[in-house]
Every structure is written in structure tokens, then in C-alpha cells.
Structure 1
Amino acid sequence: MFLKHKIFGKLFNIFTKSKINDNLVSFIIDSNESFSGNLEYIKKEFENRGNFQFHFYYKDKLSLSSLKKLATSKYVFLNDNFFPLAFMDFNKETLVVQLWHAPGAFKKFGGSVENASMLKLISDKTDYLIITSTYNESFYSEAFQIDKSKIKPLGLPRADYYFEKHDIDRLRNDFNEKYGINPDKKIILYTPTFRENKEYNNVFNYLDLNEFNNKLSDEYVLVLRLHPKIKKFYSDDIAVNGDYIDCSDYKNEQELLLLSDILITDYSSIMIEFGLLNKPIIFFAYDLDNYLSNERGFYLDYKKDLPGPVVHTTEELIDVICEGIDTSKLKSFTENQFNQIDGEASARVVDFVLKEGGKNG
């Protein structure tokens, strides 16, 4: 596997002696533009600052002309892993910034759970890693195998979305019309994550939809957003008589969070982002013992540190919703995960890059 990354690096390095374009900003991205939110917000912020040029390098397409633009960029941003970076020798005038797509620290990842040699090579070629809080610096240092001096807790650029002006009434009306939802009902968003143990991936083997709807459907509608890896564990015949609304392919995940009144999740980091909205979160962990024993683990104590109640059965889930969801830990939890909660993360990142982050500044 490393061979193709090394070949890519050698091709890239052909162009690194070319003159740097001080106004060129490059973004490394998948063709399907997954995890593109941070990059879009950084691009918008650069557009507000002056006459910059932008280049998107699609990492699953090999183009020599695109490689040359990447090699001659003053600023390079990425939002996910890009293994060829380990073998790419950027010009000393280029600044390489990893924004990472997830906020805070919840599930362990990277060097916290696997061999870290490749990650160390990548981090050696990365100038800065942007995270959301000082509290999580040690976790990210371990996960990325990166020196803490390169970590900057400036925020999650795409989280600026929640501080923009949105016409919630119009968005909700459009949502109601699209899915045939009663406007008087509150939305419960359920976002189960992927399990390595296939036995636990069909959540409807553990969530009793009939019981859930019998008790709650007068007041709530259940909206499901599946992790892409677990769609194959579901069949279309599950959804009958309006049991739930499948929004797995809904384009704007952040809009779903904005519209939802309650979040049900299990081991997904989406709960950290939802915490910015100061709305209730429930953790439906029907397979917790197995997950703790056999999956990758957490940076926190799952049973004690979460910002909402942990339930294990449909009955417990219904009871928590009916009796009222404890949100007493939500504020302090969110403040641990974000140094600043103000909608200015994109501005902080670009300020840092332009004014403080230059290697030669």
C-alpha cells in the first residue's frame, strides 16, 4: 500500500522547486466532497480577505497539472487523512494545515488505537493541526502523533454555521412538506454509528419501533440518519405506516441538527456538535458492554462523563423522553470541547494562517 503513496510523493516532489504563488490556496478533498464543510468555510473566509485564488485537489484523481498547482500553493488545507502526505516534500514557503472533520474528542482514533508510524510521517509534513479545545490537545497529539506545538485550538470552521442567521420556520416548513410531517410534532433525530461487530448494526433489532411510536408518536416523529457503512443492514420493508423518516441521504446534516429537538445517538461524535445547540441528547447504547470490550474505546468515561442519559432498552429510552431529559451536564461538557463558542472559528483560523502561521513571518 505504501508503494503507491511513495510514487505519488515522487511525482509531487518534481514540482516543489517551482515558484510559490502567494495568493494560491489549495484544498485536498475527495471527489464526493465528503467532509467538505470546513474547507468551504475557510474558502469563504479567504474570499473576504482579498484576491486569493483557489484550487481543489481531488485526492482520488491523478492530474499532473493539478499536482503542480498543489505544489506551488502558499496555503494547503485538508480535512481528513491523506497518506501520500508522508512522502510529499512541500516547499518551505507552503503552509500545510489539517482542519480535521470532527469536533472534540470522543471515540479513540488514529495513533490511540493503531500502529502510528505512518501517522508520524504525515504529521512531520503537517505544519498545524486545528482542534476545538485545549482540553483535547493530549488526545489529538496521540491520535495524530504530532507535537503539541503544532496543535492550535482555534475551533471547527463549519460550526460557524450554527451562529449564522437561518429562517428556521421556512426550513421546517420545507422539511414538513418533503416528508409529510405534522408541523406540530417535534423531531427526534436518531444517528446510530457503525459497529465492527455486524450483529449490532441493525438498530431495529434493539429499538422496538411499534412501542416507541405507540408511546411517543402523538408528540414526536423519529428521523433516522444512518452511517453510510450500515445502510446494507436495513431493508425498505422496515419503514411502514410512517414508523420513521429516513434522512440518511439528506444532503445537509447540519440543517438536520438545527431542525431537531432531541438527538439520540450512541457512539457518534455528532453529539459534540449538537451540544452547541444546547438541546437534549440521549445515548441509546444497547450494546455497550460489547462495544467497551471489543471496539476502539473512548477518551472519556462513557458511563460518567456524557452530557445526557445513557439508556440500554426501548423502555428506558421512552421513559427518559416522557419524564424529561437531564441536560445538567451539557453546558460544562460543551465548554470542555470548545474553547470558544462564538461562530468565529473560520476567522480565527485564517487570521492565524495569514498573520501568525507563516513559517517566514
Structure 2
Amino acid sequence: MIEEGIHKKSVVEGLKNHHEKLEMFIRIDDDMPLTDREFYLFMRERVSKQELFLPLVHQEENLFKLVLSEASLPLALEQGQTYNLYVTDYLSANKEEDEDELEDSAYDSDSEEEEDEVKEADNSEVEEKTPYYKRRLKMEIEKPELTFLENKDAMLYVIPYRTDKGNASFKIKRELKVVKFHHIELNKECTLSLSGYAGVLSAEHPYQIKEVKLLLKKNGEEPIEHRFPVNTTHIKDEVAKYRDDHQAPQLYEFSAEVPLQELIYSLNKRFVYRFYLEFVCDVNGVEEILTTASLVLGDRSNKLKGLVQIHKRNDVPIRYEVYRKKKRQTLGIRINDYTMKTRAKYYVKSKWKKFKKQIGKIKKVRNRLVTRTFQTTFKLASKLSVKKKTVVFESFNGKQFSCNPRAIYEYMKENHPEYTLIWSVKKGHERPFKEKDIYYINRLSLKWIVAMARAEYWVVNSRLPLWVPKPDHTTYLQTWHGTPLKRLAMDMDEVHMPGTNTKKYKKNFTKEASNWDYLISPNAYSTEIFTRAFQFEKTMIESGYPRNDFLHNQNNEETMRALKQKMNLPLDKKLILYAPTWRDDQFYKKGQYKFDLDLDLHELRASIGDEYIIILRMHYLVAENFDLGPYEGFAYDFSHYEDIRDLYMISDLLITDYSSVFFDYANLKRPMLFYVPDIETYRDKLRGFYFDFEQEAPGPLVKETASVIDWVRETEQPTFALPASFAPFYEKFCYLESGESSKRVVEVVFSEK
């Protein structure tokens, strides 16, 4: 008889916050004796890959203990970090990324975009032939979130949780909306029953949950919302099992029933509803509603199959299906008629979808081959002799002759003729370079690859493609393109951009930032944020932005008049510049964002059109082409104008929202207004701000066009003065900018070799 071997495994069997320390009891199974062996908890941060080994203390047989406090962690804890946990007996763990390094969890599946599917863990995993032990730590605790540790100074929680594969991880968060499902059932009467536990953990705000609602939402051009009551019971009786500090975390057992036949449906097309929870909270006497991201199942072992009912409505069979997206596990409800015609349509559609999926796989293979070919060619070209004193410039992915790269280029052209200066230009955006007789190479062409690979310097203001390997002989100056108001990179809680998700975005960003040798900062405020958000560890040049030299050196009537004549704008009217930013969650596809023009141009023209004109300058990622025909002579679209600095110079007033343009425009000391009808959504959901924007903005914040008109009239008054907030704002953000930032940068980067 062959004796069956012991399956290697490590499991969290006990977890408690005891005297503000986290006690973990871990069971280790191995086919080798455990005596006289030292085991460690190995923590690896998913994005930065920083690591930590903590020794486990043997208790009895195969049970080990670890006591963890926030203060005992030598790692720099930062908002948004996620640590995967392993058990090992080897202090130099394999550096290669594990299969589940980027696994989804119930708290990470915020995006509707589906990433490449993470391979399912094989329950019968093959044991590695190695003398060392290393296993992903499993979590068998029902409500691990209740044991969180708190850093009161940083207002951060270290929150243990169970991933959708059943593994143990720590998430570092200021605030976490918790939703875990125990049971999902659809009965014959077409009533959906849900139960689990949910709540809000916040280190920043003392939320007290008063009510919970289940929101079913159909997105799209005509959104539909249904809300259903949720029964809740506070889990205070269970808290003592998880912590002994007398805290009462805002977590509740919940249950809800949804009669699916009450949902609006259509006989013309399928309706898809997503699940959300709304927490109605009291915060120091003020009511606030917190809405979760689209709910995910959070358990890959639950395939959620068979939740389908067909019921007749007005003699038409209607099909209701509760399902989860295969990759992201987002929960949804599909409703459509179930007539033979519709069934045939969806049958053909499913076959076509499978065919397109196969084509997509072929395209992915093709794109991968093309990328590898480009990368290989780049690496080979980088082995050629270095083109000394050759600088390649690029602005906004090759779309513009603008920003900090332009300012540095113009300074070097005038003061350092010994350098060869080349521009990287995306095909279709060559016009300003041809007009100015500037030498350029089309981006991603073979000539571009060779030039980039051999250049001694790169000067770029946004990210390069990830496949571009930086040669050792190349100095990469990243100028960036704005003072941060919105949270950036590692500081973002959730990423709502198309074609990516939170983990992937942060990983790719830090990978690109690791290539930068120099990074320009406009002020001390930005230096602190860039260092943390980009995880930048090389040379920061705190110089002010080179692009703003123009605003100081050319601020005169002659320049403004010449620019207006060049743009064919009237000389006898005042000019308002409207320059909003883009919204992460409003897009057509990756790299092309929507923008709804809420500012009422008709009302503006009727009120101030005799004395003013307005120039629209959309963000370079916005794909809209606005029809300004009805506003001819009043509104002009300069979104594709080569450089916004000229538009700053000729503008008497600036209207913006959350765009960083106001940091630059402040150098002119002219009036600014912030038109922010969606400030709550932008502040609380999409990005969040680094400072109290509503209190410190160097101009008023308004939500209606009528208020914009009132402000414009106010600026005309002889007694008008910039608001009291302007002077401290200028001192904090613009103090380094005096017309010599380009010189400062060039002296640092190009004089050190």
C-alpha cells in the first residue's frame, strides 16, 4: 500500500487584534518534519515589490504564531498598497512574480474593464522539488477585516482580508467599503435573495451607518436605477472574537430580497443591471451617502451557475439571469425576451462573439510579436555607438510642440548650439514642426527606434510605451506636465480609466518611473507628492516649470497683439479661456475621453457676447469635436492649437475645473473661476484632491452658468481685486517661477556629463 504524502499548505487559523497588535496563528503542513526549522511570514507588496520577512514562533505541533503591530513594520506604509502573504523557511525568496501576484479580490475589482484572466489555481498543485518551503498563506477566518490595525498619525488602516482565491493579504487604506456574500439564490417566483456582511471602515471619518440600500443600476445613455431595502444587524456580538479594544467597527450582517419582475425591461434589447450598496451615514450630524463600486462575487470557487428563471409578462416569455463576469466577477442581472426570434439572435451573437474572441487572441499574439520585434530592434540599436550630445524631445505622446520639452528645446537651441535636437512626433501631428522648420522623426518608426536607442538624452513630459527599454547610456529627463491637484499614480484609491485597472495601472506607472533619471518639480509641494506617488528615488530638480518662462519673459502688449493676429481673433474684445480637464470614467475607448459641455454657451453669448469671446481648450485626451457653428464669432475651439501657453497669454480671464492649468495661469496674476458642477463626484469617487481645493482655490467655485456671468461682470468693476486666497496660493505654488526655470534644468542635466 502506497502512503499518501502530506499536501504542503499554510493556513491562518486564528486572527485577533489584541492590545492594538495583530495576533496570527498559522498552521503549516509539510511532508518534512517541522522541528528545528525556522519559518517566516514573507510579505511582498504587489506593485513596488518591497519585501519583509517576519519570524514565526512555534507553539505546538504544526501551529505557529506571529504578533504584528503597525509600529513594528519597517516598511513605509502608503495608501493603496496591497501585501501578499507567504510562509517560507528561506530568507531569500524567489524574486519572480508568483502566479497570483496580481490576483483579483473583492476589494480590487472596481473596474468594469476586464483584464486578462488570472489562471485558476489548481487544487492539485505539483509539489516543487526543492529543499525549501514556500506557500501562499490561505485565510480561513470568516471576517478578517474586523482585526484591522490603525495608524492614527497617518490615518491609515492595515486591513487583513481574504482574496477571491482564498488567500491572505493586507490592504493599506484610509477607507474601505466592505461587501462579502454568503448566499445568493434565485427562487421559482423570480425573487433573488442575497446575504452576507458589509460596512465601511474609515480612518478619516467617524461614519455611523443609519441605513443600507441595494442599488440595481442599468448604465448607458438612458440609465435606470432601482433601490431595494436591506435588512442589517450589527455584528457587535462577534467583535469580541476579533478585537479587545472595545471598538465597534461599522460592519453589519445583511440580507435583501429583489423581486426581479419589478425591474424595468425592454422587448427591443437586453437590459443589464449592476449591483451596488448605498450606505446612508451620519458624519457628525451631517448625512452622507457612500456608494460602493460595482459589486463582485469575491469567490472564484463559486461559478454562480443556474440562476435563471423564465416568466411570462403580457404573454411574452422574459428571461432573467443572475450571473458574474467570468474574469472580473462583477455581479449582474440580464433581462431580455425569450421568444424564438430573440433566442436565435443571441445564439448567432454568441457564436460571433466566440469567433471574435479567437480573432482577438490572434491579434494579441500578433501585437505581442510586433512589440517584441520593436523591443529587440531597440535593444540591438542601443548597442550601436552613442550619439553624443543628441537629445530627443517628446510632448504628450508626440502630439504637440509644447510644454516643458518645448521650453527646454528653445533654451538649448539658443544657448547650446553644440547639441543635436530631435523631436519625436506622432504621425498626423507634424504641421507645427514643418511650419517652424524643426527637425523631427515620426514616433514608432524604424528611424525613431534607432534615434531613441542611440540618443544620449531623452526629454519627455508623459510616459513612454512600456516596451521601450532605456539604454544605459541614455539620460532620461522626465519633465511631467502639471502641478498635482488630483491624486496621482500610487496615491489613487481607484482607477476608472479604460483598458486598465487599479493594480495594473500602478504597476505600469512605477515601472516607467523607475527609468527616469531626473524629474522636474515646480515647487516643494509637488516634490513631496511626486516622490511618493511615482515612487521616484533618483534626482528631483525643484526648479519651477520651464514652460512658464514664457509667461514671465513675454508678458507684454506686443506679444499679445501678435498672437491674436496670428489666431485671427478680434482685437477689440476681451478673451475668456475655458480649459477643463477630462473625466476618468467618461470615455469612448482607451485614450479617447468624452466631455459634456455643461457650460451654456447660448446663455453666455446672450449676456456678455458684445464684449467678450470665449476660447475652448479641451484636454489632449478628449476626443470631442464640438459644433460651434451656432456660436460663430463668439466661441472658438482651440483644442488642437500647438501650445496652451499662447492662449494663457492672450486671455483676460480663465475658467477651468480641476485641470492643473490654473497653477500655470496664476503666474499672470489674472482672474480665475472654477466651474465645477460635478465636484462631489470628482472629489469623492474619481480622483480626490491633495489639498482643500474648495477652501484654497485662487478663485471662486460655481456650478451654474448664471454664476459664471455674474463673476465676469464682477471682474469689470473698478474695485475688483483678486481673492484673499490668491496671495498664499501664489507663494506656495509659483514662488520658483521667474523666467529662468529652463536655464536651471539645463544646467543640472546637461552640465553633469
Structure 2 residue 568 is the aligned partner of structure 1 residue 172: no
Kept in 2: contact 1:10–1:88 (CA 8 A): no
* Distance in 1, Cα, partners of 2:566 & 2:476: 44
1:296 alignment partner, one of 678, 681, 687: 687
Which of structures 1 and 2 has the larger relative contact order (alpha carbons within 8 angstroms, sep 6+)?
A: 1
Larger Rg, first or second structure (1 or 2)? 2
Which residue of 568, 575, 581 maps to 1:187?
575
TM-score for the superposition, normalised by structure 1: 0.83
* 1:88-121 deviation digits (Å, cap 9, x = unpaired): 1412x43111112x23112223333343222222
Distance 1:56 1:341, change over 3 A: closer
The residue number in structure 1 matching 2:596 is: 202
1:107 matched to 2:503? The reply is: no
1:44 and 2:425 matched: no
1:189 partner amino acid? L
Q: C-alpha separation between the residues in 1 aligned to 2:644 and 2:489?
A: 24
Structure 1 pair 127–308 and aligned structure 2 pair: CA distance change class (3 A): same
- Paired with 1:229 and 1:97, the residues of 2 have a C-alpha distance of 23
- Paired position in structure 2 for 1:162: 551
Instruction: Measure the CA separation in 2 of the matches of 1:58 and 1:32.
Output: 4
Secondary structure of the structure 1 residue equivalent to 2:385 = coil
In the alignment, residue 749 of structure 2 is paired with which amino acid?
A: V
**Structure 1 residue 220: Cα displacement:** 2.8
CA distance 1:233–1:132, change in 2 (3 Å): same
Aligned to 1:95: 475
Which letter maps to 1:98?
Q
Match of 1:313 in 2: 704
Greater fraction of residues in strand: 2
**Equivalent residue, structure 1, for 2:647:** 256
Q: 2-side partners of 1:317 and 1:29: how far apart?
A: 32
The alpha carbon displacement at 1:187 in A equals: 1.4
Aligned equivalents of 2:594 and 2:373: distance in 1? 40
Shift of residue 266, structure 1, vs aligned partner = 0.9
**Cα distance in 2, alignment partners of residues 31 and 66 from structure 1:** 13
Q: Judge conservation of contact 2:548–2:737 (CA < 8 Å) in 1.
A: no
Residue range with higher mean Cα deviation, 135-144 or 63-72: 63-72
Q: Distance in 2 between matches of 1:180 and 1:355?
A: 42
1:11 equivalent in alignment to 2:377: yes
1:53 is the counterpart of 2:420: yes
Q: C-alpha distance in 1, partners of 2:637/2:677?
A: 21
Output the amino acid matched with 1:330: F
Q: Distance in 2 between matches of 1:70 and 1:231?
A: 29
Q: Select the residue among 453, 461, 478 that pairs with 1:79.
A: 461
Note the alpha carbon deviations across 1:250-273, whole angstroms, 9 max, x for none: 444211111111101111111111
Cα distance between partner residues in 1 of 2:445 and 2:611:
53
**Preserved contact between residue 391 and residue 456 of structure 2 (Cα < 8 Å):** yes
- With over 3 angstroms needed to count, the CA separation of the structure-2 counterparts of 1:97 and 1:210, relative to structure 1, is closer
Of 239, 248, 273, the match for 2:631? 239
CA distance in 1, matches of 2:705, 2:448: 52
- 1:350 matched to 2:730? The reply is no
**Structure-2 change in CA distance of 1:53 and 1:15 (3 Å):** same
State the aligned residue count: 349
Q: Is the 8 A contact 2:405 2:461 kept in 1?
A: yes
Q: CA RMSD in A?
A: 3.1
Distance of 2:563 and 2:750 partners within structure 1? 40
* 1:332 alignment counterpart: 728
Equivalent-residue separation in structure 1 for 2:681 and 2:661 (angstroms): 21
For residues 16 and 333 of structure 1, the distance between their equivalents in structure 2, rounded to whole angstroms, comes to 45
1:224 corresponds in structure 2 to 616
C-alpha deviation, 1:283, in angstroms: 0.1
Instruction: Report the alpha carbon displacement of residue 51 of structure 1 after superposing the two structures with TM.
Output: 1.3
Decide whether aligned partners of structure 1 residues 35 and 142 sit closer, same or farther in structure 2, where only a CA change above 3 A counts: farther
When residues 226 and 97 of structure 1 are mapped into structure 2, their CA distance, relative to the original with a 3 A threshold, is: closer
Rounded Cα–Cα distance in structure 2 between residues aligned with 1:174 and 1:65: 35
Tell me whether 1:150 sits opposite 2:539 in the alignment: yes
Contact 1:153/1:339 (<8 A) preserved = no
- Report the more deviating stretch, 302-311 or 172-181: 172-181
Change (3 A) 1:166 1:151: closer
CA contact (8 A) 1:266 1:283 kept: yes
Going from structure 1 to structure 2, the CA distance change for 1:145 and 1:9 (only over 3 Å counts) comes to farther
Distance 2:711 2:601 in 1: 16
- Counterpart AA for 1:96: Y
3-state secondary structure, aligned to 2:381: coil
Which residue identity is paired with 1:235?
D
- Contact 1:285-1:311 within 8 A present in 2 as well: yes
CA distance in 1, matches of 2:600, 2:410: 44
Of residues 127, 137, 141, the one that matches 2:527 is 137
Segment drifting more, 43-52 vs 301-310: 43-52
Bigger fraction of residues in helix: 1
Amino acid at match of 2:469: M
CA 1:134/1:186 → structure 2, altered by over 3 Å: closer, same or farther? same
2:737 is the alignment partner of 1:341: yes
The answer to whether the Cα contact below 8 Å between 2:517 and 2:539 also exists between their aligned partners in 1 is: yes
Which ranges of structure 1 fall in alignment gaps of 5 or more residues? none
Contact 2:546 2:742 in 1 (8 A): yes
CA shift at 1:40, angstroms?
Answer: 2.7
Alpha-carbon spacing, 1:77–1:225, altered in 2? closer, same or farther (3 Å): closer
CA distance in 1, matches of 2:693, 2:419: 44
Determine helix, strand or coil for the equivalent of 1:194: coil
Report the alpha carbon displacement of residue 289 of structure 1 after superposing the two structures with TM.
1.9
3-state SS of 2:665 partner: helix
Give how far 1:182 is off: 5.9
Following the alignment from structure 2 to structure 1, what is the Cα–Cα distance between the partners of residues 396 and 526? 27
Aligned to 1:322: 713
Q: Using the alignment, how far apart are the partners of 1:94 and 1:182 within structure 2?
A: 47
Kindly indicate whether residue 662 of structure 2 is the aligned counterpart of residue 271 of structure 1: yes
Q: CA deviation at 1:70?
A: 2.4
Matched, 1:282 2:673: yes
Matched residues in 1 for 2:641 and 2:707: separation?
A: 29
Give a deviation string over 1:309-350, Cα, whole Å, max 9, x none. 101112222222323464322232233224512111111111
- TM-score, reference length from structure 2: 0.42
Percent identity (aligned):
27
Greater Cα offset, 263-272 or 54-63: 54-63
